[in-house]
Structure 1
């Protein structure tokens, strides 16, 4: 409870979201989203004030401190509105719907999202952060509330009429894509690549202007574009972006992990919150870059991301927490910043000189106050190049310098650990955990690191034990021993992705069987009746929104449709299931037309298009897992995004070979492991050598 808060809790005290609980002692009479709030608004005939945010959002904290904890503002809100608080991470369906409306009504969209609407849930005012007092930042709460009260009192009929127009517009923009003329997915891919190249920052990597988000799915698409076409410019864009981010202040060089985004074009000055989904997707991108290039720097970065997550974000039961705040002690970034005097006090003179040189530490500071632009004396650690480029040592000296630098960073980490830590949002989300399972599983194979796969297996068990009903249905959120909220499209898509990666890392049949089981449930409950894609919510979820929407565009993570389509394509190739192939093909036909005007809004979907349209293969290794290590290592450490892998041990279960019928006749040769490389329902003669297997994969790709 904050110092300015009420001693009496509001209704949010009964919720499970850490974000809602942060507001439980506000003097605002907050309701959670639900029937009670809207029934009360209808009975009183007053508008609804909806505030959407999340626990690690800096400007959400600012708006709370300025307005929601102010007794006068709170009293005005309570008399004028029914006030509802929503955690966007807990209810992404609500957030997605109102964000679409925000993007239609105004250019200022973000969090906190401030929505004023009728009791029928249709907005007539929408904005982001609203200050307490009017000024350069726009109208303040003290003026906005009485203005809304007067408008509602005198022009309610006009408002209701306009909201009907808004509702109709919302129905159009959230609907499943209508069948248009056929557009080749390959044409959409090419257009997407050229648009990414157009927006690419030649100097610092990334795409577009500041603020810059990592968007790892853009990197994954570029790596595939290079892999399929040989276009080295695509690889250069991916590598430059990955390198610039890893050197910049957006990467935490002391404690590891990535901050959410960079406020500048150089990746130097971050917005300091850390999100689990970002860590998972960036770990995947750096792992794939290592597979594609063999460069150790990408492996090291991926390992550092995973080290941070396993150390700081893992629960005792094996699931992963959601986020860490940008603020500590009420100051954004305080936990991560250093003065030169601090560094010289903590380190030896030799260590301090090296750290200040490598990480651009200045006496006057390199971190400016956002509102004034003035230097504060504080420093964010960032690099302008690799250590060897800055110090220019000999090879032997480089090893010694790197050892000295690591020693210094360990000391800084120890001191920083004693500081007041940012708030940790300790809810566990199925979708973000699915992504982390995928990241750990892929990294375990790429780096041949068995520890990672054990963590992935433990997390999977946690989800299945606590957030799964045994028949295919997933729940979205777990907090305080309580699982709840029916799963959304992202939960199913991300968790199935994780299960597929976990199967290819372990070749344990149960993970592929579970992926198929949950995917079948997902298709039957989320698929549009015309096969055009997948809705955000299931067909048996009680409708508490004004529309049932379909999300196609990627955000900070790939859209549920993007992930689901690629999952279904991979499962179809693994099993030979023509029904799954048809589901994916029909969705692609509609989705390709839907994104054709702006393909870079869905780059992960472009990766799915590549998987569907380019030569691919199924690689089956007939052997016991311990006898096929060379073949398995070759598959896992190389970048082969067009292929799926299966293991056919002699003791495969009957149910497994029934599910994947073409495995039945595949056997080893004279007691040796045999690899079958299959394309278009035809398999090559088996080979018994890993090099021969990789040659067959590459030959088939080149001669398609």
Structure 2
């Protein structure tokens, strides 16, 4: 039987459209129904590539008896966290405060006014490892609702007040981070660094993309070899590990172990966009061939497997897929047994592949299968290895593919636009720059309202979704547009970035300079989310600070610079205490301390001398440097180009930093020195 989710646009919600649970989407109507029936609300939050979300669905939401109990006692609401990060953030904070941990699937029981009173994540179909079964939880909540309503109401009110108080306590105003703060962050990261296996902390181990960006910028500004060594060791370990797809490029979500061997196989757009950029920037800093290869392979993965027909980039590939026998399993698309290698390659090349990719008879994953790695002992990557890799990739293409969540999320496309534009520019790949422009065009056409420039969060099949953009959407899309400004020289992208950032200042900013995750005219939830810390992607708060800083450098806008500096106050407060969770803010602080430097390249389009100066500027490692390129007199769209004439009739570059400008130069070597 179908339910209300049959009309949803989210691929995750559509996966639940045939559940026997009488699902509602998040809406006022759902809560009105709960009031009318005097029932509590059961909120279930997940996303399409979440393995345990699928498990919970198979075990409970598709079980007729469980569904009957839910339908009898609750109004059940299903939310895609990627469509509604605001709903997810508010209730995840409650889950983490109450249980000390969080994750997805998230299960929250609440009053018809949206006040939560009981929380959890995954619940098994029968009691297991100290966890009650899902049906036991349902029965307990129903009993409490009918027999102890007053206590339930008091608890829900208290939790809601606590959430509001936690939000009020965030604030800003600590001042812009200074050298001492960034040095303290570096020391704290050094203490948490895994010198043996790369990365930070233990299992599960997540790619520390934002921290790596900070460390690269800190090395560029201060010359810290320790900072660079942490980046190199981590990037090398990830690129050799099972977290990286050795056949098709691109990164899985995280490693379940501390050595990057066995990944959680879902592939997210945001991870790949951020890591593509990190590896490109590592190549820019060191010339590493490994970094160049991984950046290009990751960019090619995004375009090949995530690009939509409309030019945007899809959200994710699932961790699970079908096996040859029809069963469904995590990692089925990616893992190999020795027998499978022999069937594709023959005996001799299969032996070579086993050594090269670390495939063992026992297996490194499950049921004798191995995740492909690139051990230090791997044979040299010659023509024979290239042939092996090509044949394995082609054979894998014949396997049942993981499900693709094909909705386009504005924020994640903004991150991908920046990565594809820069990678394409660095490595002479105009096709990647064109893919970035196509994605940006889709965001402008579909996600930005023509009348006021406001963003919607998602689209699918070229149609805009109903959910309003949150702070990370405005900030990350602005970041992507600013990267396109630098790479293409087209001032229209700077204008679009300005529209988005003006909306940030009008609708997301608090009087003390801190930033909210939702606009002042967004749907009112039980609290207004405001989280400055990075999670899997940069926080909206620090991403906005970084974009505001860059925009101010392009335009000379004092209000945008002041807003960036006010927002960076939270970085000063967290730099030493939690540097792993404020990496994007630390990277922005590096740019602030360095200027950031402003580079204007003036010369005729198509002139080789103009192109050489432009490329020299793009390859500079000065933290957060902004680059504008255009013909003489082209400053109308890009203020940084205003009043910049040719130098004795030749293309020239102008470098400024903090209201002080160096002499213009036509010599790329001098320009590189000015930006060193």
Distance 2:445 2:597 in 1: 34
Shift of 1:80: 1.4
Q: Is 2:527 the partner of 1:547? A: yes
Residue 161 of structure 1 is matched in structure 2 by: 154
- Establish whether residue 379 from structure 1 lines up as the match of residue 361 from structure 2: no
Distance 1:679 1:273 in 2: 42
Unaligned runs of 5+ in 2: 323-327
- CA drift of 1:533 comes to 2.2
Question: In structure 1, how many angstroms separate the alpha carbons of the residues matched to 2:440 and 2:178?
Answer: 34
Out of 48, 51, 64, the position equivalent to 1:55 is: 48
Note the C-alpha offset of 1:486.
1.1
Correspondent of 1:492 among 466, 474, 497: 474
Q: CA deviation at 1:166?
A: 1.0
Deviation at 1:175, TM superposition (A): 3.1
Q: Does 1:567 align with 2:547?
A: yes
* Offset of residue 24 of structure 1: 0.7
- Return closer, same or farther for 1:538/1:109 CA change in 2, 3 Å cut-off: same
Query: Aligned partners of 2:259 and 2:674: how far apart in 1?
Result: 43
Residue number in structure 2 paired with 1:3 = none
Q: 2:339 aligned to 341, 353, 378, which one? A: 341
Which residue pairs with 1:641 in the alignment? 623
Kept in 1: contact 2:538–2:584 (CA 8 A):
yes
2:643 to 638, 660, 665: 665
Q: Which residue of 2 aligns with 1:325?
A: 318
1:187-221 per-position Cα deviation (integer Å, ceiling 9, x unaligned) = 33223222211111111001111000112111101
* Alpha-carbon distance in structure 2 between the residues aligned to 1:345 and 1:648: 56
Q: Distance in 2 between matches of 1:108 and 1:608?
A: 29
SS at match of 1:656: coil
Task: State the distance in 2 between where 1:186 and 1:120 align.
Answer: 47
- 1:674 and 2:652 correspond: yes
1:365 alignment counterpart: 363
Q: Does 1:619 align with 2:610?
A: no
Partner Cα distance (1:307, 1:481) in 2 = 22
Query: Residue 198 and residue 495 in structure 1: after superposition, are their counterparts in 2 closer, same or farther (change >3 A)?
Result: same
- Superposition deviation, residue 650 in structure 1: 2.0
2:500 — aligned with what?
518
Displacement of 1:448 after TM fit?
A: 2.6
**Do the aligned partners of 1:262 and 1:271 also contact (CA within 8 Å) in 2?**
yes
C-alpha offsets along residues 270-316 of structure 1, whole Å, 9 cap, x if unaligned?
11111111110010110111011111110100111111111111112
Out of 294, 306, 310, the residue aligned to residue 303 of structure 2 is: 310
Does 1:210 find its partner at 2:203? yes
Partner of 1:428 in structure 2? 408
CA distance in 2, matches of 1:215, 1:249: 16
Mapped partners of 1:198, 1:86: distance in 2: 39
Equivalent residue for 1:503, pick from 485, 506, 516: 485
Helix, strand or coil for the counterpart of 1:390?
coil
> For residues 419 and 65 of structure 2, what CA distance do their matches in structure 1 show?
48
Change (3 A) 1:616 1:466: closer
CA contact (8 A) 2:176 2:565 kept: no
> Counterparts in 2 of 1:96-175, with a 5 A limit?
96-136=89-129, 138-175=131-168
Tell me the distance in 2 between the aligned counterparts of 1:524 and 1:276.
29
Q: Which residue does 1:395 correspond to in 2? A: none
Which deviations, in whole Å up to 9, do the C-alpha atoms of 1:153-172 show, x marking residues without a partner?
12111111122221121112
Instruction: Provide the C-alpha distance between the structure 2 equivalents of 1:518 and 1:180, rounded to a whole number of angstroms.
Output: 23
Go from structure 1 to structure 2 and tell me whether the alpha carbon gap of 1:409 and 1:137 turns closer, same or farther (over 3 Å shift): farther
Q: 1:254 aligns with which of 247, 252, 270?
A: 247
* Distance in structure 1 (CA, Å) of the matches to 2:173 and 2:618: 39
For the pair 1:603 / 2:583, whether they are aligned, the reply is yes
SS in 2 for 1:52: strand
> In 1, Cα distance between the equivalents of 2:674 and 2:47?
50
SS at match of 2:382: helix
Residue number among 503, 520, 536 corresponding to 2:517 in the alignment: 536
Distance 1:633 1:115, change over 3 A: same
Q: Against the structure 1 CA distance between its residues 180 and 291, is the aligned structure 2 distance closer, same or farther, given a 3 Å change threshold?
A: closer
Please state how far the C-alpha of 1:66 moved relative to its aligned partner: 0.4
Query: Which of 514, 522, 537 is the equivalent residue of 1:557?
Result: 537
Contact kept, 8 Å, 2:310 with 2:462, in 1: the verdict is no
Deviation string for 1:209-239 (max 9, x for gaps)? 1000112111101111211221111111111
Q: Are the equivalent residues in 1 in contact too, given 2:415–2:476 (CA < 8 A)?
A: yes
Q: Secondary structure at the match of 2:204?
A: coil
Alpha-carbon offset, residue 185 of structure 1: 4.0
Q: 1:678 is paired with a residue of what secondary structure?
A: strand
Q: Does 1:683 align with 2:664?
A: no
With 442-451 and 270-279 compared, the bigger mean Cα shift is at 442-451
Rounded Cα–Cα distance in structure 1 between residues aligned with 2:68 and 2:593: 60
For residue 325 of structure 2, what is the aligned residue in structure 1? none
Deviations 1:524-544 (A, max 9, x none): 12112x14222111122232x
TM-superposition CA deviations, 1:402-437 (whole Å, max 9, x none)? 221121111111111111111111111111111110
SS in 2 for 1:443: helix
Residues 637-670 of structure 1, C-alpha deviations (whole Å, 9 max, x = no match):
33222422122412416x326xx2x643210022
The change in CA–CA distance for 1:358 and 1:78 in structure 2 (over 3 A counts) is same
1:123-171 Cα deviation digits (max 9, x unpaired): 1111111001112151001211111111111211111112222112111
- 1:33 paired with 2:38, answer no
Q: Once the two structures are superposed, what CA deviation does each residue of 1:489-543 show, in whole Å capped at 9, x if it has no partner?
A: 1111110000000111111111112211221122212112x14222111122232
Change in 2 beyond 3 A, CA 1:549/1:236:
same
- Contact 1:356–1:362 at 8 Å: present in 2 too? yes
Secondary structure of 1:196's match?
Answer: helix
Alpha carbons of 1:102 and 1:129: their partners in 2 closer, same or farther (altered >3 Å)?
Answer: same
Q: 1:576-591 alignment to 2 at 5 Å? A: 576-591=556-571
Query: Aligned equivalents of 2:33 and 2:156: distance in 1?
Result: 20
Assess if the C-alpha contact under 8 Å between 2:344 and 2:392 holds in 1: yes
User: Structure 1: where are the runs of 5+ without partners?
Assistant: 1-7, 369-375, 392-397, 699-704
- Superposed displacement of residue 594, structure 1: 6.0
Which residue of the partner structure matches residue 438 of structure 1? 418
* 3-state SS, counterpart of residue 9 of structure 2: coil
Which string of whole-angstrom CA distances, capped at 9 and with x for unpartnered residues, describes residues 232-277 of structure 1? 1111111111110010011111222111100001100011111111
